[in-house]
Amino acid sequence: MSANERTLSVEQPLATAWNQTRVGAFLSQPISWVFLIVGGIIAFLSLYPTIFLFYGSLVNAPLGVPGHFTLQNYVKAYGDSEAYPLLLNSFIFGLGASGLSVVFALALAWITIRTNAPFRRLFELTAIIPNILPPILVAISWVMLLNPSNGLINGLFVKFFGMEKGPFNIYSIPGLIFVEALILTPLAFLIIAAALKSMDPSLEESAKTLGSGELGVMSRITFPLMRPAILAAATLNFVRAVESFDTPAIIALPARIEVFTTKIWREALGSFPTNHNLAAAYGVGILLVALLFVYLYRRFTSQVENFSTVTGKGFRPHQIDLGGWKYLASAVAFLLLVLLVVLPILVLLLVAILPYYHVPTWETWKHLTLDHFRYIWVTPRVHKAFGNSMLLALLGATICMVLASLASYITVRTKIAGRGLIEGLIFIPWAFPGTALALGLLWAYIDFPIPVYATIWIILIAYVTRFLPYGMRAVSSTIIQVHRELEEASVACGAGFMATFRRVLIPMMRPGVMAGWIILVTIFMREFSATLFLYSPGSEPLGPLMYFLYLDGMRGRVAAIGLVISVISVILIAFAQRYSRWETK
Amino acid sequence: MRESIKVLAAFLIVLLSLVTPSYSQNAKLVEAAKKEGKVAAYGSLESDNADAVFQVFKKKTGIEVDYWRASATKVMDRALTEYRAGKPLFDIIITNDSPMQIMWKEGILTKYDSPSAKDFTKDSIDPNLGPRYRNVIIGVAYNKSIISPAEAPKSLEDLVKPQYRGKLVMPDPTQHTTTTQWVASLEKLMGKEKAEKYIRDLAAQKPVLVESLLPAAERVTTGETPIAITYVKYVYMFGQKGAPLDYVRLGKMLGDGHYVTLGNKAPHPNAGKALIDFFLSQESMSIMAKTGEFVNRKGIYPPLPGADKIQFVEMYDLDTKQYAEKKKEYQQIFLR
């Protein structure tokens, strides 16, 4: 079909009387239909369980039981003066962990993507591994390394430097921030790396031509251009840190540091029986804070054109020659990866071959065992869980990224009224504490007309609902950088919305889409907090299986499964990264 | 010849019925259960220990057990939510006293008089929930490669002596429900007045506080903290794998009773009943004891030295309000 024919086919319907109304004009645009369909799906996914939770926060009885309207849950949650110092602790913890994770991620992403540092491809591949490991295992690994009594690293200092006691104490605010930052770094890395891959270095080159040194280029050009991605990563990680319970439970509790989630746990989720109404009231508070951050994020990124760095001029990012400094860059990346990957994986490997969990001594080497790996090999339940998790990870991540790409396009690129609503909607379920949301999902889908409860599909719905924001952030930080002129050129050549989206935007967004897909696959392979309430024995994925083994004191088996998941995920990531590179287009 | 074949066949049938005594009396029930095909159990009994019993049950009856394992609170949450939504998918619940009592009051469970209950002592049978099949006992464990048995504490009172300051780990009683219950029940062992002082002295020792009883035991196996207030069964469980653990012979020890009950709207009621019958049988109790559980059957003990000398004292059954009050009270004492 020629461009003229296309124009005609668009103009003809415009002539009808129906289309002369405002609604008609709106509906005549293909993008409007996309908006309605995507918006409808997202609104349903996020509002349906959320309404149950909001309702729960305003009544005095659990769902399914007749109750009365009350504000008592809010009075109890926020009328307690003890809560506010804890909020400050949470804020310091969230800010510290998120800031440090972004610094680590930025350094690692810049070195691996934009420089000619040796081994950069290997570093890039391994940087995502910590995202695969259950956070609780990472925290436990660091306790084993840095606890003041018999932490392995502290032990080395005592042995080789003749110190009286080791210099590190994991049970402190810096310890807590450090470990959480390491847990959060892969997510920040993926978002920032995706944006760096899409960035045209011509501005950097111009600055260099005008006499700027490498440091000047970095501080004045590269990092300001990276601002949307950095802010996206920082926003996501801040909220993730503030709502995390695993690391505080393992590190803050023995250190007697209280954060807000500790309080939520004590008063609501960990109380007996669980006070879901109070948990929902706390959830609403966290939701408001999260929405405030989304608003701030949108303000930061509102001047979209300022960040457009991928233009239609045919540039591709290329490596910066660091000269002799490239070895130093590799050393920095290597050091970060030792902290992020090597040490925790070594500890996990050790736990996987120890007969029971302990700090190894010379005696230990005689008792090493492969029993935990044998358990994986011979147990049909584990095989089935692997199958279920693979299905959920691949299908769930793909559905999420399709939705996230369309939603990002609508929110970032179009002027459709109500586009901001989509972003707000996506963030709602994410802002609730995991267990509270899982309960909302259970309440929402247990009596759903389509019988999804107790099937694997309810888990899929839960994953898409809860983790869509991760995909959304990864794509939108890339889409912001794609200049409009490419789309405009496509439209000028007569392509419709779907053709432009498929032929121009998707290839341009590919690094972001693949980064998001990788994040989601790695999370879905091990997710348990939402899954736990929703799976039934026939549809058990790996997350709950690992959780039960952990609950039963089988750390060796958990570590062994964690390592096997890591290997599978690395293979998936390697394929995804190969596909996401510009060069392979 | 034909006569002798008939006699032989009759003899074989009699012999077969004798070989499976626990099911001969419930043959009809087992037949009905087989028609239902499977049984769904929600419980807080450790997966490996539960599987050990379920596998034998499957071998005997051909009935598959779908087991959903979670913490007691989560088991209760899920069962209540399913029931209230009118879609209970569980046939039986296997968990401890407090959540069982709540679920009973909510009407989601039903009474089933299992023939296997006759082998339990009368005082261990709850009028609604049936026999208390196991006791989960909390004691004091220590790492004997760090603390020799001679230096180890000998009583709960010893734990508050200066030499053990900084060497003790316990779950946070302001967060961990079973530990709240344990601290509140100490007066059952030492009397109200003494217990009140003891709790303050214990808090003054500044024990390391962790999330639950398992991380407490694990800190002892790793040697990070040498003494823990934790489940005694972990001494056996980790000891089996080579951990240098022992426990203080306290004589009387507090613990929680666990039950197995039938759902009021069980989708597979006959299979549920058949599983309960087997679960409470002598054979099942022996299997569970071998995994380290303190089953409530005379003469059957876990293979842990001194297990037969332990006197079990059931902890108080606190209600929601009491839990909240106690957690608040312990916050003032333990987190100052």
Whether the pLDDT of residue A515 is over 90: the answer is: no
> Contacts of residue B99 in chain A, CB cutoff 8 Å?
272-273
Whether the pLDDT of residue A577 is over 50: the answer is: yes
Return the half-sphere exposure (C-beta side, CA atoms, 13 A cut-off) of residue A155.
12
Whether the pLDDT of residue B3 is over 80: the answer is: no
Whether the pLDDT of residue A72 is over 50: the answer is: yes
Instruction: Identify from A137, A147, A267, A356 which residue to disrupt to test chain B contact, counting B C-beta atoms within 10 A and taking the largest count.
Output: A356
pLDDT tens column, A358-390: 777 777 777 888 999 999 999 888 999 999 999
* Residue A397 pLDDT: 94
More confident residue, A77 or B159: B159
Whether the pLDDT of residue A254 is over 60: the answer is: yes
What average pLDDT does this structure show over B40-52?
Answer: 92
* Residue B108 pLDDT: 96
Q: Is residue A2 part of a domain?
A: no
Number of domains in chain A: 1
Average pLDDT of the residues of chain B: 90
Using CA atoms, how far residue A107 sits from A12, A565, A580, in Å, is 54, 27, 21
With cut-offs at 50, 70 and 90, classify the pLDDT of residue A401.
very high
> Contacts of residue A270 in chain B, CB cutoff 8 Å?
73, 175-177
> Contacts of residue A367 in chain B, CB cutoff 8 Å?
242
**Class in CATH terms, B135-255+311-334:** alpha beta
In this prediction the ipTM stands at 0.76
* Residue A302 pLDDT: 55
Task: Kindly give, in sequence order, each residue whose CB lies less than 8 Å from that of residue B240, ignoring residues fewer than 6 positions away.
Answer: B292
Whether the pLDDT of residue B18 is over 60: the answer is: no
With cut-offs at 50, 70 and 90, classify the pLDDT of residue A435.
low
Nearest in space to A247 (alpha carbons), one of A233, A237, A261: A261
pTM (2 d.p.): 0.81
Whether the pLDDT of residue B245 is over 90: the answer is: yes
* Residue B2 pLDDT: 57
For residues B332 and B329, give the distance between their C-alpha atoms in angstroms, rounded to a whole number: 5
Q: Is residue A23 part of a domain?
A: no
Q: Is residue A22 part of a domain?
A: no
Domain coordinates in residue numbering, chain B: 27-134+258-301, 135-255+311-334
Q: Is residue A3 part of a domain?
A: no
Asked if residues B196 and B221 have their Cβ atoms less than 8 Å apart, the reply is no
A173-182, A436-445, A508-517: segment of lowest average pLDDT: A436-445
* Residue A1 pLDDT: 41
Closest CA–CA distance from residue A53 to any residue of chain B (Å): 14
Q: For A438, which residue in chain B has the nearest alpha carbon?
A: B78
Q: Is residue A525 part of a domain?
A: yes
With cut-offs at 50, 70 and 90, classify the pLDDT of residue B227.
very high
Look at strands B109-110 and B92-96 and give their pairing: unpaired
Average pLDDT of the residues of chain A: 80
Reduced to 3 states, what is the DSSP secondary structure of residue A153?
helix
Burial of A71 (0-12, 13-18, 19+ CB in 10 A): exposed
What average pLDDT does this structure show over B295-318?
Answer: 92
pLDDT tens column, A179-237: 999 999 988 888 788 778 767 667 777 877 887 777 777 778 777 878 878 888 888 78
Chain centroid to CA B92: 15
A260-274, B41-55, B182-196: segment of lowest average pLDDT: A260-274
Using CA atoms, how far residue A416 sits from A26, A410, A489, in Å, is 9, 8, 21
Contact B89 A357 (CB under 8 A): no
Quick check: do B27-134+258-301 and B135-255+311-334 share a fold? yes
* Residue A20 pLDDT: 56
Contact A256 B81 (CB under 8 A): no
The fold adopted by the segment(s) B27-134+258-301 is: D-Maltodextrin-Binding Protein; domain 2 (3.40.190)
* Residue B144 pLDDT: 94
With cut-offs at 50, 70 and 90, classify the pLDDT of residue A535.
confident
Considering only CB atoms, A65 lies closest to which of B84, B238, B323, namely B84
With cut-offs at 50, 70 and 90, classify the pLDDT of residue B205.
very high
Q: How many CB atoms sit inside 10 A of residue B192's CB?
A: 9
What average pLDDT does this structure show over A527-544?
Answer: 80
Using CA atoms, how far residue A165 sits from A161, A178, A392, in Å, is 10, 20, 47
* Residue A578 pLDDT: 74
Reduced to 3 states, what is the DSSP secondary structure of residue B260?
strand
Which CATH number characterizes residue A200's domain? 1.10.3720.10
More confident residue, A496 or B156: B156
* Residue B11 pLDDT: 57
Domain with A261, as residue range(s), is: 28-584
With cut-offs at 50, 70 and 90, classify the pLDDT of residue A123.
confident
Q: Is residue A14 part of a domain?
A: no
What average pLDDT does this structure show over B214-239?
Answer: 92
